[in-house]
Amino acid sequence: MEPFTATFTTPDGALLTYEIAGKEHLQKAPERKPFIFVCGMSNRRCDFDTLVPVIARTRPGESTILIILLTYDHRGIGDSKLPKGNNAISIEIMAKDLMHLISHLGWKQVVVCGFSMGGVITQQLVLLPYHPISPQPLPFKITHVVLAGTLCSPSIFLDESGQWNGKVGLKFPKLEDTSAGKGRPLTDDEKKELVRPTVEQGFDKVWLGDQRNKERLAYIMDRMIVKRPTRTIVAQSLAMLRFKLPSYSSTSLLPPPPIGPEVLIIHGRGDGITPWACAEELLRRIPHSRIVKEDEIDHLDYGHNWHEYFDSERWVGVLDGFIGEPLMQAKL
């Protein structure tokens, strides 16, 4: 069955386009908590195309995995729009977008999986009630959080003056390089060559060197040049350099269960965008979290785009185990 697609207008006028896979199960299995994918920088909702259909195929009684999945485009990218006359983009704004969208859908309990920038947005969402200036209570409960290829502080990206150090993080073509060349618009092939380094940065050398992935990489390249405005991506990148998450307490960034969600970290040692040190920091700052272990998948030497590695059924098993397991202490 095709995903249900709709739009939602936020209080400040942004138009969010979203899809729900498995919507037909909402009435059949109301006890199931919807699973929400939160995109990373430059991502669109279609970028989870290998994983979403596999999870959505799961039926009640087969496992604890969620069968109702929400994916959406952040404001200003894909099929979503910025408010008229307002180009502001920040982690807090995008977290409130998600809060308003979940509230609009009327869901009372959810599981949220945030990838890369989406992981920062997810943490900000959990922490909205603890905002030091304008706390915002959530009209729903987040029971589980998956933080994939993400971080909790931009410090690893910054030099001593607070500017991007250029050593880590997602690297994009310069804005002037993506504009018309020699008085004409760039061709699709020229656009793809410009974004190729950015796309390839999401994978490790082993994945890129495997001829079996050649067709998949070409497909991702084709998709990368569609409905991803450069100015929005630049605004997202600036948001990632400027965010500062409030902390729940002096001992934990996020509130532990039963107040807050259980937390699973997915992070590859071959991640060239958010290094392994980011996962270590998450584990230190969220003591009740745990990280996916080698015996749950094949190995930990995967790149940033974790969902493109291994068989998708393997990731479903990881998520299924996390959602159904008792709380575990974080260990590397």
Distance of CA 150 to the CA centre of its chain: 8
> What does the DSSP 8-state code read for residue 244?
-
The DSSP symbol for 14 reads: -
Q: Quote the distance between the C-alpha of residue 76 and its chain's center.
A: 16
* Residue 286 scores a pLDDT above 70: yes
d(CA 36, CA 69): 6
In Å, how far from its chain's centre is CA 12?
A: 23
User: Averaged over 234-241, what is the pLDDT?
Assistant: 94
- For residue 47, pLDDT beyond 60: yes
pLDDT band at 326; cut points 50, 70, 90? very low
pLDDT given for residue 124 in this prediction: 98
Q: Helix H segments across the chain?
A: 25-28, 52-57, 91-105, 117-127, 188-200, 205-209, 214-224, 230-242, 276-285, 312-324
Domains of the chain and CATH, by start: 4-324 (3.40.50.1820)
Provide the pLDDT for residue 332: 36
Residue with tokens 């150090």: 165
pLDDT-based confidence at residue 327 (cuts at 50, 70, 90): very low
Mean pLDDT, the chain, rounded, equals 90
User: What is the distance between the alpha carbons of residues 78 and 27, in angstroms, rounded to a whole number?
Assistant: 29
The predicted pLDDT at position 144 comes to 97
For residues 50-71, give the mean pLDDT.
73
Separation of alpha carbons 74 and 82, rounded Å: 9
Quickly state the pLDDT bin for 330 (edges 50, 70, 90).
Answer: very low
Which of 181-195, 205-219, 275-289 has the weakest average pLDDT? 181-195
> Does residue 325 contact residue 264 with C-beta atoms inside 8 Å?
no
CA separation for the pair 244, 33 (Å, rounded): 29
Res 212: pLDDT: 97
Q: Is 145 helix (H, G, I), strand (E, B) or coil?
A: strand
Candidate from 49-53, 150-154, 275-279, 326-330 with smallest mean pLDDT: 326-330
Q: What is the pTM of this model?
A: 0.93
**216 residue type, one letter:** R
